[in-house]
Chains A and B, each alone.
Chain A
């Protein structure tokens, strides 16, 4: 029964229960601010936990195990082909999600953050209405709000001649793909960015024939080519096809399959203009969730890409509303949202907090992993920043050899004048874990000498960063002698 509405009055309402939202709510509560967190999903954790980072990494782990077992033949260990029980795999993945989300529920309870499940809609700059399923709506009067509504996969309606096809089970986005409702024999992945490659890798490991179509001339646009190359080499064998410079013209559901029309680059006869697939995954990016939240009733400003405009203290144009995470701009990454969450909560508590971070790490959890932070060589060239780079191949690293995977490289990008580290890029197993040291180095304003003089445990993959810095320093020394 729905009877009128209840009214709640709080200091702070956090809209969204993802990594940005719950972190902000917990930090605000820690600082003594009475906080309510509103989330549409009964299970907190947002896209990251329920439909993104966590489930994809669980599945990628499965893919890695399969790959390792296959790979083990090279070192004298032979396993028979794995029997893959998709149902059990999915159950395990869901269990991981459940445990993590229960953790968040527990933390909210102990921090006395009230959770409200329902869809929030701003009525004005001081209140919002939360529609709850089967219960009366709640009107939340707030002094401040932190908007953390996240993002959703970009849809491509123009590809579908029949509009209904868009909602077919055969057409997946990252959310539905992560549910792993069966393993299609032939899978088309539209988009060669990190989501497409990660999920493509999962399905390839589970047995799908994967075709990736990317409209630009390389996988992972924006990432330095030398980092992409080892991955691309590997994916060339893992995937059935990688079509670059190719556009998908249309997708049409025909019974149990989907017919795709391609527009290959001119003069290319290797890429067919039409192919049939069992399923299609659309992974062309994400859009900020700035619509349908009632922001038009507030002073919040939204840019042409749909992002809420914020300053370095996460303040929007509405003095009562702050915004964090994917809805507030690029890069749309959970760890950026979590840092912003701290800033927003602290700003509201009167602290001098500010997003002045020097580096946001980017990680692609493929096999091998790619990770980078700071400036890329591509970016330096575009902006005309004078940089130099030194590389260290993992084939010369002891640890890489002992794990029988030397398909990696670490490079350090530095200012040749001051020797300051301006960026680091890595490709290879666990690069995503290794990048942490580089991010810290950038935040600390480290120079090559710092990375060179820091003792790195031997034998570990972390030595490659130390070696890259030493390579750079040796080069600088040689040049100094010549002069």
Chain B
């Protein structure tokens, strides 16, 4: 018989993936755990292994397409009675040809056996009218006149609005929702290349249209014309091409996810940043002195970041509000009893934050090794998905590049993020004398709903005390 392989659940909040590479061909034999696809999700590039052993009968996706979780990817003949393949194929939602199209999962395909009510075929037509309907700009979008008027008023391109009405009809609420979250909604439709949207200038009689003749306007009773009031819509852009050549690239995958989560963070969290400095002159010297032996012993580098992870964990234990999240809906603060420290890693695809889990239970050595491992894997796009989830606090270090300080943005839904700038040699005053010291600028951005400025200052001070006097680590235990 044949087995349909559906795009599996790739982890929390991941509903779709772009297919980067197809590693098998029709007719090829595959063993369980052989890699079938390489897909890029919002968070990382993931290799998808085969759950079956058999022969590839059909591949339903193409490279470059976006597939949704539950979407049929491939049919593998697993030996006995391979004739049922076409029937199976029909049940699964097909991946469309166009790149922009988002696929809908097969209704109930994974629960076929249980409830006895197998999802009927209409899923397919629904997908068609819901997602793909308005891709064709030659056909007017089904929307009532009042909806079209509202769209004009809000300067919304109807083709870009995801419809909620029957048969892909755009409703007033859809237009309002789009206008409210223009950025998010635009990304939702995949390629948001708004080729057909022509910004409609508000026509004010005076400046746009008639204008010019000041004298006659004054005497002609111009006051009778009303001035249009346009609600401002985020994301409205001028025509860049007027000023020179541009290239439009769809907002995809990691970049898209970053845009979404940064927008969410910026719009939902009241950010405050507190700045301080740690004198790491002694620590730096100590690090240098053990660098070689540590590397020989572990194959990894003992970095300042690793030590900061430990210092942060200690501070989080003392000030648990910085390890919490706000549950707005339930009006509760969620204090997490685990310490998973995210490390911001710059990759050529954008910022990714792998997580060191249970950092409180790991030794400095373990952390240093893990840190280097996940950073390398992340840069190579090979980090495991579970390593990208469950963070409670994030550290971002731009010191290797430079920077005297920064104002980092919180990784929603965490409470705070610690930014490290470049630890550089600076004149410092010690016992009335100017000496050369190594100064590390630190910046803590925190959610002011969960913590106050004084607590934040104490929190950063706690970290600094550990960096300046590493003995504190030992005294704590």
Contacts and interface: CB of A to CB of B under 8 A. Distances in A.
A252 B145 CA distance: 52
Interface in A352-371: 352-354, 356-358
Interface string B207-239: 001100100110111101111100000000000
A350 B204 contact: yes
Interface string A202-227: 00000000000000000000000000
Nearest to A142: B220
Given A9-B220, A126-B213, A417 B128 contact: yes
Interface in B159-190: 166-170
A445 B169 contact: yes
B200 interface: yes
B227 A350 contact: yes
Q: Is the interface of A mostly helix, strand, loop or mixed?
A: loop
A463 to B, nearest CB: 23
A319 interface: yes
A417 B224 CA distance: 50
A319 B220 contact: no
A114 interface: no
A115 interface: no
A357 B143 CA distance: 11
Nearest to B219: A9
A319 B226 contact: no
Nearest to A447: B167
A32 B226 contact: yes
A449 interface: yes
B140 interface: yes
Contacts of B166: 447, 449-450
A352 B153 contact: yes
Nearest to B200: A352
B133 A418 contact: yes
Contacts of B168: 418
A144 B167 contact: no
B337 interface: no
B224 A34 contact: yes
Interface in A78-133: 126
A420 interface: yes
Nearest to A29: B224
Contacts of A447: 142, 166-167
A350 B203 contact: yes
B144 interface: yes
Contacts of B426: none
Interface string A8-30: 01110000000000000000000
A450 B184 CA distance: 31
A320 B149 contact: no
A11 B220 contact: yes
B227 A143 contact: no
B141 interface: yes
A33 interface: yes
A347 B226 CA distance: 11
B87 to A, nearest CB: 14
A449 B225 contact: no
Interface in A437-466: 443-447, 449-450
A481 to B, nearest CB: 12
Contacts of A419: 167
A396 interface: no
Contact of B144 (A10, A353, A444): A444
A269 interface: no
Nearest to A351: B228
Interface string A136-151: 0000010110000000
Contact of A34 (B143, B221, B227): B221
Given A141-B216, A356-B148, A418-B133, A348 B224 contact: no
A31 interface: yes
A452 to B, nearest CB: 12
Contacts of B153: 352
A445 B142 contact: yes
Contact of A443 (B133, B144, B204, B209): B144
A11 B167 contact: no
B380 interface: no
B129 interface: yes
A401 interface: no
A349 interface: yes
A349 B226 CA distance: 6
Residue from B140, B142, B228 whose CB has the most chain A CB atoms within 10 Å: B142
B152 interface: yes
Contact of A350 (B133, B170, B205, B217): B205
A350 B225 contact: yes
A420 B142 contact: yes
Nearest to A358: B140
A280 to B, nearest CB: 43
A437 to B, nearest CB: 14
A132 B180 CA distance: 55
Contacts of B21: none
Contact of A33 (B129, B216, B225): B225
Contacts of A354: 152, 200
Interface in B310-353: none
Contacts of B149: 352-353
Contact of B221 (A11, A144, A349, A445): A11
Which of B202, B203, B216: most chain A Cβ within 10 A?
B203
Nearest to B168: A418
B216 A420 contact: no
Given A418-B133, A445-B142, A447-B166, A33 B224 contact: yes
Contact of B228 (A9, A32, A319, A352): A352
Contacts of A420: 142, 167
Nearest to A319: B209
Interface in A1-59: 9-11, 31-34
A349 B227 CA distance: 8
Nearest to A10: B220
Contacts of A313: 203
A446 B142 CA distance: 7
A348 B203 CA distance: 7
Contacts of B213: 126
A319 B219 CA distance: 20
Given A32-B225, A358-B140, A444-B144, A352 B202 contact: yes
Contacts of B142: 420, 444-447
Contacts of B144: 443-445
A320 B209 contact: yes
Given A143-B210, A352-B152, A11 B216 contact: no
A326 B219 CA distance: 33
Most buried by B among A420, A445, A446: A445
B220 A418 contact: no
Interface of A: 9-11, 31-34, 126, 141, 143-144, 313, 319-320, 347-354, 356-358, 417-420, 443-447, 449-450
Q: Which 9 A-B pairs have the closest CB atoms?
A: A445-B142, A350-B228, A352-B152, A32-B224, A444-B144, A143-B210, A447-B167, A352-B153, A443-B145
Given A320-B209, A358-B140, 14 more contacts: A32-B224, A32-B225, A33-B225, A34-B224, A141-B220, A320-B210, A347-B203, A348-B225, A350-B225, A353-B149, A353-B152, A417-B128, A445-B169, A450-B166
12 contacts: A34-B220, A126-B213, A141-B220, A349-B226, A350-B202, A352-B152, A356-B140, A418-B128, A418-B129, A445-B141, A445-B143, A446-B142
